[in-house]
Structure 1
Amino acid sequence: MADDDPGAAERRARFEALAPELVEPLRRFLARRADPATADDVLGETLLVCWRRLDDVPPDAALPWAYGVARHCLANAQRSARRQGRVAARVATVDPPTQSSPGPGETQHGEERLHEALARLTDTEAELVRLWAWEQLTPSEIAGVMDLTPNAVSIRLHRAREKLKEILRKDRPAAGHEESTEGRTP
């Protein structure tokens, strides 16, 4: 039995020490990118991959490595959801539903501008900004997540931030007041 194997016990102890450090940061990472149900599913899948590939987890950069795993698991879940959506669309044309409900991922009013601006970036640019701003990773940690060099991350992150700033600046509602002509002579 596997429980008699001292290597299995060491492996289990290592994972049990690692998992609590990963769960909450991964949960927040996924919650910012997916609806709650998908985030929970992907969290479970990510932890399963971490268990299976425990020997590959770098001891000094476990969280960035796990973010990379979570990104891949989330991409797989999103591809699956798109496939399911296409099947549902085909079924709906044959047998349309009587009512529709709002989809997942709807944001509160205050977050809408940011999410719309992020959507106007490329997928890579948006992910760089999210990892930097939301997960508070350094360029070298982001490099590990995205399989890039730290220098490439620094350059791309700078460009993505500037592009996001420009998008938000252009989309900002006009500030100030209308010019008044009261008290002036023409």
Structure 2
Amino acid sequence: MRKQTRSTTTTRDVQDEFSALQESMTANEYAVCYEQERLPLVRFLIYRGAAPQDAFDAAQHAFVEAWRRWEHIHNPRTWLRTVAIRAVAKANQPTVPLNEQYDLADSAPLDSQVSEETLDLVAALRQLPPLQREIMVWKMDGFTPSEIAKELGISAEAARQGLHRARENLKKMLFPRERGGS
């Protein structure tokens, strides 16, 4: 009888150690994800049109929700962006025009210093039609047209076409040809 008890106790000890190891690995994976994705997520939301503070708040909300559901999340990058997009929408804040009201350099979501080119890009992105802007922002964040299509509920061809149109529109906005010849 004691042999069975020892064997059972040993098995429980191993199971407890394994559970503790799994929890530790989960916490480490989450911490790595947080470090790698926090600022890119904020940048993604700003490029979509969110005000910097709203972007920070929505990113924080997404990471809190991710911690609660971490074991069930299969693709953290996509999941975080989807939850953060919903958080911005839920905040019911209108898109804020890029002006002196928000100094992107002071809020530092785009690394330590924001260049004039980045400000121009954000302004141009905000002028794109909503679907083109959405597709371009996902692409800028490293997603393929197939992944974008899946997340937006459109066909891969529609994503590629939207990406092409967004690039063409951005090119026209950011690099206008001088009038009166070449």
Return the TM-score normalized by structure 2. Answer: 0.61
> CA deviation digits over 1:98-126, x for unaligned, max 9?
xxx94115575433433332222112211
The residue aligned with 1:122 is 129
The residue aligned with 1:150 is 156
Matches within 5 A, 1:24-43: 24-32=36-44, 33=46, 34-43=50-59
Percent identity between the aligned chains? Answer: 25
The residue aligned with 1:184 is none
| Cα separation, 1, equivalents of 2:37 and 2:58 | 13
Within the candidate set 101, 104, 108, 2:102 is matched to 104
Matches within 5 A, 1:10-159: 10=22, 13-32=25-44, 33=46, 34-58=50-74, 61-77=75-91, 79=92, 81-82=93-94, 102-104=100-102, 109-133=116-140, 135-159=141-165
Confirm or deny: 8 A CA contact 2:128 2:166 kept in the other structure: yes
| Cα separation, 1, equivalents of 2:129 and 2:87 | 19
Residue segments in structure 2 that go unaligned for 5+ positions in a row? 1-15, 105-113
Confirm or deny: 8 A CA contact 1:65 1:145 kept in the other structure: no
- After superposition, the Cα gap between the structure-2 partners of 1:28 and 1:104, relative to the gap in structure 1 and judged at 3 Å, is same
The structural deviation recorded for 1:162 is 2.2
| Cα separation, 2, equivalents of 1:41 and 1:122 | 25
Structure 1 stretches (4+) deviating beyond 4 angstroms?
Answer: 8-13, 105-108, 172-177
- After superposition, the Cα gap between the structure-2 partners of 1:166 and 1:63, relative to the gap in structure 1 and judged at 3 Å, is same
The structural deviation recorded for 1:50 is 1.5
| Cα separation, 2, equivalents of 1:16 and 1:175 | 59
The letter for the 2-side match of 1:53 is R
Residue segments in structure 1 that go unaligned for 5+ positions in a row? 1-5, 86-100, 178-186
- After superposition, the Cα gap between the structure-2 partners of 1:42 and 1:122, relative to the gap in structure 1 and judged at 3 Å, is same
Confirm or deny: 8 A CA contact 1:64 1:144 kept in the other structure: no
Give the secondary structure class of the aligned counterpart of 2:142: coil
| Cα separation, 1, equivalents of 2:150 and 2:62 | 16
| Cα separation, 2, equivalents of 1:112 and 1:175 | 28
| Cα separation, 1, equivalents of 2:103 and 2:165 | 27
> CA deviation digits over 1:135-186, x for unaligned, max 9?
12212232344343433322221222223223334x3555989xxxxxxxxx
